[in-house]
Structure 1
Amino acid sequence: MASIKIMLDKRRPKKNQEFNIIFRITHDRVPHIVPTGLSTHPNDWNEGLSCFKASTRSSTNLNNILSTKLHKIQEAISELEARNEFSISAIRETLIVKEEKPKTDKVYCFNEFSKSLIETLIRSNKTGNSQVYNVAKNRLMSYAGKDTLLFKEIDYQFLEGFKDKLASENIKPNTISNYLRTIRAIFNKAIKAKVVDRSLYPFYDIQIKGEKTQKRSITKEDILKLNKEKVKVGSQEWHAKNYFFLSFALIGASFTDIAYLTKDNIQKDRIVFRRRKTKKLYDIKLTPLAKSILKLYTPDKYLLPIFPSNMIEDGIESKNITRQAIKQTNKYLDRIAKRCKIELNITTYVARHSWATISKRMGYSNELIAEALGHEYGNKITNIYLDSFDQHLIDDLNLKVQKGLK
């Protein structure tokens, strides 16, 4: 027999610091969450009586709404258990209200709605996100095994089956997690667009777990080995090594960011750019290592020979070029690393992790390292009131991390 309780879900606060009020339904010792559509601040909630406090504005009306919904659920549970047809999705259907119905009688398909989102992202030059959405959509459609998939068909059992199928294909947990988060984002957008009922939301009971990322940093000794390893000038290994160490010299700048650098980004003895991913502004002193690498190339538009000068930035072509260039660079970095007897699989991302790890081992504070990398450290609200480190401290740290490299 199922039991039901009204609770304040304190796992995640909303932006206004209120928490969602939920129905927790336990069936066969398995708890399920059903939203009430209401939220409140803990000070306005009576934990003992599971209702709004009398002092809360419109408490009588709000408590009546909860009572009405609770009664509907209790009736539905009784009917379903009598027919031995209990399911949490059927319970959620009892809470569908008129205003939550789609604003059109058209039955929206997951694949159609996803396609429209992807097209919008492409038009907005958000091709990176569009590709993430497209891959996740294609994976789910492949699992469904048909051309059309309705939102209402994507329920708990369907998603659990999807997870199990991916796991059986040895897909990494973090990749599975990325697929599920993307599909969840598509579902949320469809609900906000009023093209699917909130009651059909299947992610309340779906656990989305990744795994700890494997080590991606190497020691200063290994960095020195890579730096000293001889490569043929003009070869693919030569370019790969240059890109890796330019990233390292620019405090672990991403491959995409260094690929987009132009002569305009160089201001006196500094390089100033915005990270493509976060839009955060970086202002980094050009070290001898960075200068020596940039002198190896004769720039047309871009400082490095990765993009053609007539390319449309942030378009599909640029994403494809970037992806292929990273793949190629990682391939040749790995070859160099093996000759140096470095066991870790070296990729472009290792430069950023290694810069941070080396800084930490040199005794620098997490706060200074975080600021150099463009991260916030500690409490976000507190950080607003803290002064930024003087730029020369970060410049000095970066120079010391690169000591011995040329």
Structure 2
Amino acid sequence: MLTIKAEIQRDKLRQDGSYNVRIRFTKDRKVKRISTSLFAKKADLTDRFTIKEDSLIKQEADILILHYRKMFNEIHLEAETLDVNEIVARLNSRDKSDKPVDFIQFAKEWIANSTLKGAVNYTSALNSLIRFNKSEKLYTHQITSEFLQEFMAFLLNESKERAEQLKEKGKRVPSTRSTSLYLMSIRRLFKEAVKQYNKPDQGLIRIKNTPFAYFQIPKQESTRKRAITAELIRKIEQLPYQTVYKGIHHTNRFNLAKDCFILSFCMIGINSVDLFNATEYDGNTLTYYRTKTRDRRMDKAKMIVTVPKILHPLFEKYKDTTGKRIFNFYQSYVNEKAFNKAINKGLKEIGSILKIEDLEYYAARHSWATIALNKVGVSKYVVHEALNHIDESMRVTDIYIERDFSNENKANAKVVRYVFGR
């Protein structure tokens, strides 16, 4: 039989002259004590070191004892087979399960400790949630399917207002993909909270609701098609260089954009961040690990590209003579973001000349895929592999296949030949 009592231990006097009130659980002559937030002074105790019946501390201790007795009665049938340590562990789990989880606080800590490249997207999603909630205090039980519906409406309205502001300024209006992306980010954060706070094997379920089971996240709006024709790519390559250079590094964004666009297109749409940080080149092939998906793939998103001869002059032009990297872009731009920004500003100048609306660096990647599939006859699977995308359905198969990148580079040779004739 289990007995539950409040007790004071005579030898546990604190520096402030008080004693912590402990709850003592006894079963089969075995004892387990837990501390409480109650503290008794000498005036609250009898000579025998029991709590005086008429004291406030006694009333509060009795409430705690009643609380534990009630919880014990709820597990009474199985408690007969448990020892006192297991019983107290179960009671503590039940106790914790009643404590609400602050979702926003958890999310902030999770993002801060995350090594994901897309952590900034989670921060943006969380900031949107805080704006909608009008408070940085939000418990998981408050996140219901109805709450999510209202949050989605809020996101769509924000997107609409932003689009109207951009229209007034004559700028391009982005898609509403952020609504889906933000909702997916919040769903991921909610799942992570469930993983952290729910321990079913210990009988601890602090997050009991499943709001996303009854809420459908809208499908993402298709990304804007940014591919341009082979003729326009040739025109970019044939544009004369500008002769005016600026800054201490003697740079020209127009020239940089022209060259980097061709570098990207002829190397299967390599991203600017990977171009900026590339370090492995043997004179024939460039090896890199795609930054965007490196942390989500077992192969670290490895890519080996045979460098077409058409690019050899550009490799020589931008060669890093120190040997630290393949290209010397890092010597002129503080980081990959500044580098990408400079390229896109230069591409706006090029787009203006060639009448290409809102030309961006990523158009090289889109154009390579489009030409490979529609003009050269490369299979969609090879295009998928060449772009180094993640295919969940192939994860197991990929474990058994040693990839040599030959199909991707054969496809690239066909694309380069189709566009440039060499």
Under TM normalisation by the shorter chain, which class is it?
Answer: 0.5 to 0.7
Cα deviation 1:316-346 (Å, max 9, x = unaligned): xx9xx43443333223212211211123x32
CA shift, 1:378, in A, is: 10
CA shift, 1:395, in A, is: 3.0
What is residue 256 of structure 1 aligned with on the other side?
273
What is residue 182 of structure 1 aligned with on the other side?
185
What is residue 48 of structure 1 aligned with on the other side?
none
Change (3 A) 1:202 1:381: closer
**2:232 alignment partner, one of 222, 228, 232:** 222
TM-score (norm: length of structure 2): 0.61
What is residue 216 of structure 2 aligned with on the other side?
207
Mapped to 1, the partners of 2:155 and 2:315 lie a distance apart of 43
Change (3 A) 1:367 1:157: closer
- The secondary structure found in structure 2 opposite 1:271 is strand
What is residue 81 of structure 2 aligned with on the other side?
none
Q: Structure 2: where are the runs of 5+ without partners?
A: 1-89, 161-174, 199-204, 244-250, 295-299
CA shift, 1:385, in A, is: 9.8
CA shift, 1:220, in A, is: 0.8
What is residue 331 of structure 1 aligned with on the other side?
345
Mapped to 2, the partners of 1:272 and 1:183 lie a distance apart of 35
- The secondary structure found in structure 2 opposite 1:168 is helix
What is residue 326 of structure 2 aligned with on the other side?
303
Change (3 A) 1:391 1:105: closer
Cα deviation 1:264-283 (Å, max 9, x = unaligned): x0124111122222322211
**2:363 alignment partner, one of 350, 363, 371:** 350
Q: Structure 1: where are the runs of 5+ without partners?
A: 1-96, 312-317
Mapped to 1, the partners of 2:282 and 2:289 lie a distance apart of 14
- The secondary structure found in structure 1 opposite 2:211 is coil
Q: Give the counterpart letter for 2:214 in structure 1.
A: D
**1:275 alignment partner, one of 284, 290, 295:** 290
Mapped to 1, the partners of 2:217 and 2:319 lie a distance apart of 47
Mapped to 2, the partners of 1:378 and 1:160 lie a distance apart of 29
CA shift, 1:252, in A, is: 0.9
- The secondary structure found in structure 1 opposite 2:155 is helix
Q: Is the CA contact (8 Å cut-off) linking 2:253 and 2:345 kept in structure 1?
A: no
Count matched residues.
294
Q: Give the counterpart letter for 1:272 in structure 2.
A: T
**2:259 alignment partner, one of 221, 238, 242:** 242
Mapped to 1, the partners of 2:376 and 2:105 lie a distance apart of 53
Mapped to 1, the partners of 2:404 and 2:208 lie a distance apart of 52
Q: Which has the larger radius of gyration?
A: 2
**1:151 alignment partner, one of 137, 140, 148:** 140
Mapped to 1, the partners of 2:346 and 2:276 lie a distance apart of 17
**1:231 alignment partner, one of 231, 237, 241:** 241
- The secondary structure found in structure 1 opposite 2:288 is strand
Change (3 A) 1:163 1:258: same
What is residue 137 of structure 1 aligned with on the other side?
126
The 5-angstrom pairing of residues 81-96 of structure 1 reads none
Change (3 A) 1:384 1:185: closer
- The secondary structure found in structure 1 opposite 2:212 is coil
Indicate yes or no: 2:111 matched with 1:118.
yes
TM-score (norm: length of structure 1): 0.64
